[in-house]
Amino acid sequence: MRILLVYCHPVPESFCAAIRDRAMQTLTTAGHQVDLLDLYAEGFEPVMPANERRHYNEMTLADHPFPDHAERLQAADALLFIYPTWWYGLPAMLKGWLDRVWTPDLTFRIPDGPGPIEPLMTHIQLLGVITTCGAPRWWSYLVAHPGKRTILRGMRALCGRKCKRLFMAHYLMDKSTPESRARYLAAVEKRLARI
Amino acid sequence: MRVLVVHAHPVASSFNASLFRMSVERLIKNGHEVDVINLYEDGFNPVMSETERLNYHDLEVNRQPVEAYVDRLLKAEALVLVYPVWNYGFPAILKGWFDRVFLPGVSFGLVGGKVRPTLHNISKLLVVTSYGGSRFRSWLMGDPPRRIANRMLRATIKPGAPVTYLAHYEMNLSTNKTRHAFMSRVEKALDRI
């Protein structure tokens, strides 16, 4: 499969970077084609400016603000997000990437009247989230994993009906140990080797 | 009361921006001391930098890059958020405001690795927002922003403080009538602050 791996963490030596490396290695070994999109390295600007917002509903693929990203999104069979969970959600940079890159005419079509929007990302067969959380598992479930839901339900609704989902989280990061992190990396490898 | 109003919408002529202006005017008229943060107007940068992330748990320095915002947040007795929901979440500029300003030592403390919320200066929270999708569709998606307000923010502010979440769904199908009805609901909620 062609996998677009969207990675978002400001610190190059972070644990998320280790997850990214392990994921890329595992996926490449399994014969997948991995396209890495490193948002911090690109210096992606997540704030949607006024003019983009004004034309958002009428936006067409031809005037997409990030044609390169649009093309890579269209070429992908699977999407994998690797990021730290901050305030139970996506880092602002990743949230802004969804806001500015997942535009009408590329990922969905707005109907003229009432009714749901029409999904256009139907070529995506797998949507995955691999993350780290400061909070414990029970509290993350109580707050209901807003970040996970944004991607695995909100964005998932723009993909095909048969699109599979994958979710993994290392909870209580602040109490993590070298052992817990190694175990998590091994679990990531095992899980990704199966896709 | 000292009320902090935080707004995040890029277009001044939007319905959301008019809700924001209406809220500020109403609160001033009602005799409150109103502090206004318009994130787009401030040109706020929502991206947490590498240095900020590395210093995140260092209570001596972590608030330095956003000190003015921290001071204003800690002085507030009520918090009013006016923003649109995009992709079942906050606009990036507002999400980044939480990421960078709601720091250890500001909105929570870590005691033995466990989080202890500390924003107890805020005794009222009002969220005024607008969605493109329907309430049903948002509910299907788990309505992340509603949960953030009702669970995470509620747990962060003063225990037992009232949280009011007002949302106009299906903005694309809104009419003068629905918008006016929503504005009246917002006015009533503002009068309770």
**Would you say residue B130 has pLDDT above 90?**
yes
* B53 contacts in chain A (CB < 8 Å): 9-11, 14
Burial class (CB in 10 A: 0-12, 13-18, 19+), A72: middle
Q: How confident is the model at residue B135 (pLDDT cuts 50, 70, 90)?
A: confident
ipTM of the complex: 0.91
* B171 contacts in chain A (CB < 8 Å): none
Distance from the Cα of B150 to chain A's closest Cα (Å) equals: 9
Which one of A87, A121, A150 makes the best mutation probe of the B interface by having the most chain B beta carbons within 10 Å?
Answer: A87
Beta strand pairing status for B163-168 and B124-130? parallel
* B101-107: average pLDDT: 94
**Would you say residue A91 has pLDDT above 80?**
yes
CB contact under 8 A, B99 and A91: yes
**Would you say residue A71 has pLDDT above 80?**
yes
pTM, rounded to two decimals? 0.94
Q: Are A98 and A134 in contact (CB under 8 A)?
A: no
What is the per-residue pLDDT across B16-54, written as a single tens digit (0 to 9) for each?
A: 999 999 999 999 999 999 999 999 999 999 999 999 999
B163 touches chain A (CB under 8 A): no
CATH number of A2-193: 2.40.37.10, 3.30.450.20, 3.40.718.10, 3.40.50.360? 3.40.50.360
Q: What's the mean pLDDT when you consider all of chain B? A: 94
Which span out of A185-189, B133-137, B171-175 was modeled with the highest average pLDDT?
A185-189
Q: Are A90 and B89 in contact (CB under 8 A)?
A: yes
The domain that holds B14 is classified in CATH as 3.40.50.360
Distance from the Cα of A191 to chain B's closest Cα (Å) equals: 25
Domain count, chain B: 1
Q: What's the mean pLDDT when you consider all of chain A? A: 93
A130: left (phi over 0), alpha (psi -120 to 50) or beta: beta
What is the per-residue pLDDT across A22-60, written as a single tens digit (0 to 9) for each?
A: 999 999 999 999 999 999 999 999 999 999 999 998 999
Q: How confident is the model at residue A104 (pLDDT cuts 50, 70, 90)?
A: very high
* A113 contacts in chain B (CB < 8 Å): 173
Beta strand pairing status for A78-85 and A2-7? parallel
In this prediction, residue B9 carries a pLDDT of 98
C-alpha A4/C-alpha A35 separation (Å) is 5
Q: How confident is the model at residue B113 (pLDDT cuts 50, 70, 90)?
A: low
* Pick from A20-24, A70-74, A131-135, B142-146: least confident: B142-146
Q: Provide the residue range defining the domain that includes B96.
A: 2-191
**Residue where the block lists tokens 């309430």:** B135
